Structures are given as C-alpha cells and as structure tokens.
Amino acid sequence: MSALPAGPAASPALQTARWLARPIRFLEDNRRRYGDTFTVMFKGFRTPLVMVSSPAVVRALYGEPGHAMPPGRQLTLKPLVGARSLLLLEGAEHLSRRKVMLPPFRGDRMRAYEPIIRDASARALSEWPVGRAFAVHPSMQSITLDVILRAVFGVADEARRARLHALLGSLLAATTSMSLQVQVLFGRMAPLAALQEQAREIDALLLAEIAARREAPGEDICSLLVQAVFEDGSGMSDGEIRDQLMTLLMAGHETTATGLAWTLDLLVRYPSVLEQARSGDEAFLRAVVSESLRLRPVVPLAGRRLTVPLEVDGLSLPAGTDVTPAMWLAHTRAEEYPEPYAFRPSRFLSNPPSTYTWIPFGGGVRRCIGAPFAELEMRVVLEEVLARFDLHPAGRGAEGIARRNVTFSPRHGTRVVATPR
Ligand code: HEM
C-alpha cells in the first residue's frame, strides 16, 4: 500500500484543537511545511484525512462520480433530514434524485423568486437599529429562513409561516447549541425530548403543506417535487418530499445567511468596493458575491472516501482513503489569484477562474444544487441592504472565524453601524 502524504506529527487531539481554534492558521502552516497536499488526523475519526488544493487534484477527485461520501455525514445529519435525503443517498438512488431535483434550481427559474427575496429583505431590514452597533448575521438568518419557507416550501399563509419560522428557527439554533450538546453529553435528555416534540410538530405542518401542494401546485420547489417523475415512472412519496425539504433547509439556510454576513463584513472594510457595489451594476455585484465566497468559503471542506485509487500529478492514494479539498487553500493560490488575500471582485470580471480553482459549492456529482439560488439570493439581498443603508464596521479588527456545525461563520456575527441613506 502506498504511504499517505506527510502531515503534522502532533497528536490527533492537538491537531483537532488547532483546527477548531485557528483553522486558517492550521491550513496555512501545513501548506507552508508540506505543500499543497498533506495528511491530518482529527480526534474521533478512525482514519486520516488527506487535504488537497491544487486544481488538477481537485478535478481528479470530484471528476470520479463513484467515490463515496465522507464518514460521519450519516450520523450527524440523518436524525434531522431523514434517510432519503439527497445529502445522504449514494450511487443510483442519489443520481435519480439529483436528476429530478436539479432542474427546479436552474438559474433562469430562480428569477421568479426575486420578488420574494426583496420582500423578505424589506421586512427584516425595517427592523435594523439605526446608528448603533449590532450583528447582521441573525437578520440574514431570518431573511434566508423566510425565503426558504416561501420559495422552497411554498408556505403562503402568514400564520402558518410564522409558526414554522419559530419552530424551525429554534430547531436550527439547537443544532448549533454548545449548551445542548454539553447537557446531552452529561445525560440530561429533557432538552432532547423537547426538540423531538418540536420536530413532530414540524413534520405534521410539512405533511399538510405537501398535501396542499398536491391539490393545487404553485411555483415553489415543493410543488415541483410533488410533480417530479423518476425514470421508472414513479414519483416521490410524501415522506421523501418531507426529507428533501428538510435537506434543502439544512443545506441552504445557514450557508446563505453566513455567506451574506461575510460579504457585508468584507464590504464595510473595503469602502471603495462598497461604493462600486452600490452603482447598480449587476455584473459587479455578482463578482462581489463570487469574490466573497472565494475569500470566505462558508463550507471549508467537502470530501469523499475513495472507492478507486486517486492517481494524478505524482500523487497516488489507495481506495478507502478519505480525501477533501481545503477550500481556503484552493482559493488562495497565488498562481491563480494574484495577491490572493486581497478582496478584489474585479478579478472575476477580467479573468474568471477555471472550475476547480473556485469551489465554494464543491464539485462533481455532489456539487451544491442550490448554487444558482444562493448566488441570486445573496445578490438581491445585498442590493436591498445597499439601497437603504450606509454601513460602517463597528470595530477596527477583521472578524475572526467561528465554526457553526459544518460552516465557517463570523465570530461576532459581523457587527456594523447602519444609517439610512
Ligand atoms: C452560500 C451558500 C451555499 C454554500 C456555500 C453551499 C455549499 C455546498 C457544498 C460545499 C456542498 C457539498 C458539495 C460536495 O459534497 O461536493 C453542498 C451541497 C448541497 N447543497 Fe449547498 N450551499 C449553499 C446554498 C445552498 C442552497 C440555497 C441550497 C438549496 C436551497 C443548497 C442545497 C444543497 C444540497 C441539496 C446539497 C447536496 C447535493 C448532493 O449531495 O447531491 N445549498 N452545498
């Protein structure tokens, strides 16, 4: 068996502590010492993890459709999204779902959701405090949750939407709650029982929505799933649609809100870019979104377990190895991005990067199906924010990174001072 690439010799506990406390430093230190490809060992993982970042290796990894999903995904996600989730299926079952779930997210269809995004933004932005520091991340979470409930779930009724907003908001907060995790670790199951009670109410509400969409389909994604037909002529059961809706919520809500919070954090620290972003030039705002996702990749890793050996550019990894691109490292290669640490959206206008040097949405057969949705939503929310407010950073230092589940998120929620224009 070939040896894995070199990597840090520290104990798994120490490597994990460094990754959790200072992820960027951990990645940069390893790149400096070992190059583009290195092997790390995290506590709780039974097998080492090879991190890669050169475009040729990322292409070879994501280009092989047969690789399996990374370990641990089933364990953490199944209780929330259900066993039939697109995120958890593999092989032919996964591909058949992807085939029917991709078309509803096509770029041209997304335009229909623009009014919903503008309206959700207007409601949330009307509550922003004026002239004093506050964190924008919770407001972005509220917008992205509202947008998913309307555009994806299709919940038109205000009262039902408010109830689902409250229930899903607290379920999602609990999944990132350190206090809950500690209580459960010490055997206190009461909070978990309360969560299960909430989950039952959510399921009942979702099944009622699905039944209503079967009766009278609309423009939302749930209506399209209700009408979807697999190659064998069968459709999705109500239970499966429930799983896919929870999947879209889990995959699309926090990620987009966090991408928005990071974009605002970068914009307030680069006033000339912020001014240009206000100009109403749609292409420039798209470039702002792309550059933010490059410099602040919300999902730092999206790996695979190899089912066949990976052999490329002198690298040879045996089947069974866990391999992940490190988005930060792939996005900060000076060969592809001159002055890689500068926030410079115009680079996406003059010289758009090739596919495997910009991978905030992963790649290959598991690439994010919500990418066009997320990009549109980010651009439209930004337009609404910039049209209403002048923004300044609340502090001098750049935001640090905190980990929330699988995301890299601004530690203090992006604190700004907003004044109406
Ligand atoms: C800025 C926002 C977002 C980011 C950074 C992001 C990132 C990602 C990444 C890295 C993956 C894994 C890809 C892989 O394993 O190669 C993924 C998968 C996925 N995302 Fe997103 N995502 C975002 C928004 C959304 C939205 C808005 C939705 C839907 C409403 C969505 C739905 C999904 C789904 C269903 C998958 C699983 C695809 C599969 O396994 O076939 N995402 N996303």
Please give the distance, rounded to the nearest whole angstrom, from the Cα atom of residue 138 to the centre of ligand 1.
20
DSSP 394: S
Determine which residue's CA is closest to atom 9 belonging to ligand 1. 361
Question: Does residue 319 lie in a domain region?
Answer: no
Q: Is the pLDDT of residue 183 over 60?
A: no
Q: Which two tokens stand for residue 155?
A: 């919940």
Name the pLDDT band for 1 (thresholds 50, 70, 90).
very low
Q: Is the Cβ atom of 408 under 6 angstroms away from ligand 1?
A: no
Question: Does residue 231 lie in a domain region?
Answer: yes
- Give the number of other CB atoms < 10 A from CB of residue 276: 17
What is the domain extent for residue 293?
Answer: 71-154+218-298+348-420
Dist. CA 192–CA 119, nearest whole Å = 35
Dist. CA 236–CA 228, nearest whole Å = 7
Please name the residues in contact with 53: beta carbons below 8 A apart, sequence gap of 6 or more. 31, 36, 37, 325, 326, 329, 330, 333
Q: Is the Cβ atom of 248 under 6 angstroms away from ligand 1?
A: yes
368 marked ligand binding residue: yes
Per-residue confidence (pLDDT) for residue 396, from 0 to 100: 81
Determine which residue's CA is closest to atom 27 belonging to ligand 1. 252
Q: Which two tokens stand for residue 15?
A: 């490597």
Mean pLDDT of 18-28: 93
Question: Does residue 140 lie in a domain region?
Answer: yes
Helix (H/G/I), strand (E/B), else coil: 52: strand
CATH number at residue 78: 1.10.630.10
Question: Does residue 283 lie in a domain region?
Answer: yes
User: Is ipTM over 0.90?
Assistant: yes
Strands 310-312 vs 315-317: parallel, antiparallel or unpaired:
antiparallel
Question: Does residue 88 lie in a domain region?
Answer: yes
Q: Is the Cβ atom of 55 under 6 angstroms away from ligand 1?
A: no
Please give the distance, rounded to the nearest whole angstrom, from the Cα atom of residue 419 to the centre of ligand 1.
34
- Give the number of other CB atoms < 10 A from CB of residue 175: 17
Question: Does residue 21 lie in a domain region?
Answer: no
Question: Does residue 225 lie in a domain region?
Answer: yes
Helix (H/G/I), strand (E/B), else coil: 386: helix
Number of domains composing the chain: 1
Span of 124-138, 328-342, 388-402 with lowest mean pLDDT = 388-402
In 3-state terms the chain splits into helix, strand, coil percentages (rounded to 5) of 55, 10, 35
Question: Does residue 254 lie in a domain region?
Answer: yes
Name the pLDDT band for 174 (thresholds 50, 70, 90).
confident
In tens, the pLDDT along 184-236 reads 555 565 666 777 788 889 999 999 999 999 999 999 999 999 999 999 999 99
Q: How many residues does the chain have?
A: 421
Please name the residues in contact with 294: beta carbons below 8 A apart, sequence gap of 6 or more. 331, 337, 353, 358, 360
Please give the distance, rounded to the nearest whole angstrom, from the Cα atom of residue 368 to the centre of ligand 1.
3
